[in-house]
């Protein structure tokens, strides 16, 4: 087993020598985990097929799940894509650097393995000093899915990365907690109107202001598993974001949700299961179960998004058998949170109080 090097770096002004160590790994075809504003990513040179294959292997990620390619400058996009349209330029100017991934037609320089054989590529520029330093100093476009084992909750700290990948990758750049806590929004602009394939750190409502017409792909708002013939984006296929425990999501009006969570908790505890409840500040005191955690206040969806993956991992540390999660409003960042909870549950959704 290889030794994973942990490099603690300043989140605002990363130390040049530490970035240099990580850059050397990337240039030699290695794997480096690094923070972005969303979650920690696992990086490899996107144009090095051998490095990209080793990334899939380290994560145990299915090869049909395409990667997001991270760039350091807007000008880098022209090399990776066939055409940069005025619409693309407008979106990059409005949202980059930031948590928006754009699906574009790929150029011939992109290895098939990086894009899972598709004729499109997912590209973004992260808004994080450490990520940008790594990308720019390496001179590479960096393919970087989340730095976790496939299917597990995404990592929002370096420790989460090590919990999953210690000994499987070369290095981790540790700059503390990530700011947003859920992955980037993925927007396909090869179709008209553009489609959100995965809700994330850039809210749908913000895209509407720029594009006027933008759709949510059925997978982005699905309440049950949908068959997908072509996977154009990470998060469209396979189980994602799931802790070891079973997850049940209870949806509906808040008072009915609280009652249903209590009812389900009692059922599982009578069976001898260790129960965890994922609540909010407004409801956390209502539950008498083995483990209760609050995502934060329902009035602050940014805090809820930031806490989601951390709390799912904490339930695993508590060895709960089942997590019963309250729904939150599916608006703004709440849409991304509900997308992740539904996927984490394998679409085990319980309706509270009818519909």
The reported pTM is: 0.95
Looking at residue 227, what is its pLDDT? 64
Q: Say what the pLDDT of residue 328 is.
A: 96
CA distance 333 to 130: 24
Per-residue model confidence (pLDDT) at position 231 = 61
- How many other CB atoms are found less than 10 A from the CB of residue 299? 10
Write down all domains in the chain, each with its CATH number in brackets: 5-221 (3.90.870.10), 246-352 (3.40.50.11030)
Per residue in 268-294, pLDDT (tens digit) is 999 999 999 999 999 999 999 999 999
Q: How many residues does the chain have?
A: 355
pLDDT at 279: 98
Give the residues of the chain that fall short of pLDDT 50: none
- Asked if 170 contacts 187 with a C-beta cutoff of 8 angstroms, the reply is no
């Amino acid at each position: 087993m290889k030794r994973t090097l942990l490099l603690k770096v300043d989140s605002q002004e990363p130390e040049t020598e530490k970035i240099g160590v990580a850059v050397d790994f990337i240039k030699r075809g290695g794997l480096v985990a690094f923070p972005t504003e969303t979650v920690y990513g696992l990086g490899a040179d996107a144009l090095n097929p051998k490095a990209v294959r080793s990334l899939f292997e380290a994560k145990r990620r299915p090869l049909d799940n395409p990667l997001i390619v991270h760039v350091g400058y807007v000008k880098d996009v022209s090399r990776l894509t066939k055409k940069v349209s005025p619409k693309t330029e407008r979106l990059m100017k409005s949202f980059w650097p930031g948590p928006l991934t754009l699906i574009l037609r790929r150029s011939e320089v992109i290895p098939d393995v990086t894009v899972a054989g598709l004729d499109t590529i997912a590209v973004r520029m992260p808004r994080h000093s450490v990520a940008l330093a790594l990308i720019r100093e390496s001179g590479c476009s960096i393919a970087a899915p989340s730095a976790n084992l496939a299917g597990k909750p995404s990592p929002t700290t370096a420790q989460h990365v090590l919990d999953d990948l210690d000994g499987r990758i070369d290095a981790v750049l540790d700059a503390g907690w990530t700011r947003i806590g859920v992955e980037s929004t993925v927007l396909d602009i090869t179709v008209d109107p553009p489609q959100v394939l995965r809700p994330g750190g850039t809210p749908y409502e913000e895209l509407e202001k720029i594009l006027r017409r933008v759709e949510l792909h059925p997978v982005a708002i699905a309440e049950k598993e949908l068959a997908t013939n072509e996977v154009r984006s990470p998060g469209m296929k396979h189980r994602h974001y799931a802790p070891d425990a079973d997850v049940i999501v209870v949806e509906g009006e808040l008072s009915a949700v609280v009652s249903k969570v209590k009812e389900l908790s009692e059922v599982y505890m009578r069976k001898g299961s260790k129960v965890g409840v994922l609540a909010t500040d407004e409801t956390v005191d209502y539950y008498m179960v083995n483990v209760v955690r609050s995502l934060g206040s329902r009035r602050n969806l940014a805090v809820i998004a930031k806490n989601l993956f951390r709390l799912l991992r904490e339930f695993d540390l508590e060895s709960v058998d089942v997590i019963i999660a309250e729904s939150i409003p599916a608006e703004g960042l709440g849409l991304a949170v509900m997308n992740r909870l539904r996927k984490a549950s394998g679409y085990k959704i319980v309706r509270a109080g009818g519909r």
